[in-house]
Each structure stands twice: as C-alpha cells, then as structure tokens.
Amino acid sequence: MIYEMRRYVLQPGRVAEWEKAFGDGYQTRAKYSQLGGLWHTEIGPLNEVIHIWPYENLQHRAEVRAESAKDPAGNWPPSVPGAIVTMETDILDPVKGMTDWSGPQQWGNLYEMRQYTYAPGTLGKVAPAFGEAIAGRAEIYPVAGIFTSTLGNLNRMIQLFPFKDWAHRDEVRTEFRKTGVWPPHTDASPVAQLVRHMIPADCSPLH
C-alpha cells in the first residue's frame, strides 16, 4: 500500500469554506476510494490543509483519480475559486511495522505531524529503527503512521501521532520518555525538522 499526502496552502480565512466544499464533494469521491484523513494546521505553518489517501499502488491512484473526476455529480474535485495559493503532493511508503489504514479511527482531536528531512542516502538506515520501535510506542497510545517519501519531496520521514487533547499529549510524551521506548536511537540525525499540530476536519475518518 502507498499513501498520497496532499498539502494545500489556502488564503487566510478560507480554510473552513474549503473544508466544507471538500466534505460535500467527498460524498461523491468516496464511491471510488476512501480518504485516509484530512486536517488543518493549528500550530506551525498556518492556513494549510493536509489530506492523505491510501492506494494499492500508483496505477490504482491514477485510475481512481480519473474515474472520480468524471463522476456525473460534478462536485469533485471541490471548487472554491481563489482559495488555494499553492499545492504539493508526495507519495509515501509506510515503514515496516506500521499497520495499514483500514477505516475510521477515533483516536483524538489533536494530531501532531513531525516532518524530518535527512541527508541523501541516510533515510534507509533510519526507517527500520522507527519501524521496530512502533509496537512499543503504540502500547502507550496508537501511532497513526510513520512514512518515508518516495516521490515528491525526497529524503523525508513523516510521523503522525494522535492525541485526545493537549493534556493527553503531555501525558503520553512523559510516559514514553520515562519508559525509554521512544524515540529510537539511530546513527543518523535529521538535517531539518518541522512540526505541525493539526485539527481533523469533520469529514476526516481519523479523529
């Protein structure tokens, strides 16, 4: 399974409008394949919406996108004129040890996305350690996903962690530091880091 992560920067004040249009159109899009999750940023780069779609492979992605765009309902992709400033997409592979997304989950109302960029040639040495450590981290609270980029912005690891709320985030982070299960030790350090704290949209299967 692969995951497509799409990141849109919107005009200030247009996030709620765009999310509503997306939710309305998703009723059509869901006939072709299911959304993984949709969020908007609360802390970090603002006015961003990030949506992640699981696919069997790149061919499945191409077929689904072509068929959904031809749906007679005519409301996909959602149209909010002038709302989108920039768009980018990355294709992600799950690290070994990650459980593939299989449907809605009620994990929380706060998601933390940690984006680490590594020097070329080093990510392959780092990803296995994170995959091996997922089970221990998940015993404290579920891990939504850990991915590496294969197309788009390369040499990146994306970590996605859900929390019930801000207080729960503090509790979980205290616990895994106390037990020493996270973060795993690796021989390579990231050259850049970016953290986004995000709120799920109403239509997001991951909450």
pLDDT tens figures, 48-107 = 999 999 999 999 999 999 999 999 999 999 999 999 999 999 999 999 999 999 999 999
Query: What is the average per-residue pLDDT within 165-176?
Result: 96
Q: Do residues 137 and 182 touch, judged by C-beta distance below 8 A?
A: yes
| 30 located within any domain | yes
pLDDT of 119 reads 97
| 206 located within any domain | no
* Phi, psi of 44, deg, nearest 5: 115, -150
> 4 falls in which pLDDT band (50, 70, 90)?
very high
pLDDT of 107 reads 97
Distance of CA 178 to the CA centre of its chain: 27
Residue 29 is classified by DSSP as: H
pLDDT of 181 reads 92
> What is the length of the chain?
207
pLDDT of 108 reads 97
| 179 located within any domain | yes
pLDDT of 136 reads 94
Among the listed residues 88, 73, 69, 67, the one whose alpha carbon sits nearest the alpha carbon of residue 7: 88
Amino acid 26 reads: Y
Query: What is the average per-residue pLDDT within 163-181?
Result: 95
Structure tokens at 78: 């959602």
pTM of the model: 0.96
> 20 falls in which pLDDT band (50, 70, 90)?
very high
pLDDT of 97 reads 94
Cα dihedral 42, 127, 155, 144, rounded to 10, equals: -20
| Cα–Cα distance for residue pair 51/56, rounded to 1 Å | 17
Structural domain range at position 192: 2-200
Number of independent structural domains in the chain: 1
| 62 located within any domain | yes
| 205 located within any domain | no
| Cα–Cα distance for residue pair 84/74, rounded to 1 Å | 19
pLDDT tens figures, 117-128 = 999 999 999 999
Q: Which percentage of the chain shows pLDDT scores above 70?
A: 100
| Cα–Cα distance for residue pair 199/38, rounded to 1 Å | 9
Query: What is the average per-residue pLDDT within 22-49?
Result: 97
| 42 located within any domain | yes
pLDDT of 34 reads 96
| 70 located within any domain | yes
Q: Do residues 93 and 148 touch, judged by C-beta distance below 8 A?
A: yes
Structure tokens at 108: 């929380």
| 28 located within any domain | yes
CATH no. for residue 174? Answer: 3.30.70.100
| Cα–Cα distance for residue pair 18/11, rounded to 1 Å | 10
Strand partners, 195: 114
| Cα–Cα distance for residue pair 92/33, rounded to 1 Å | 17
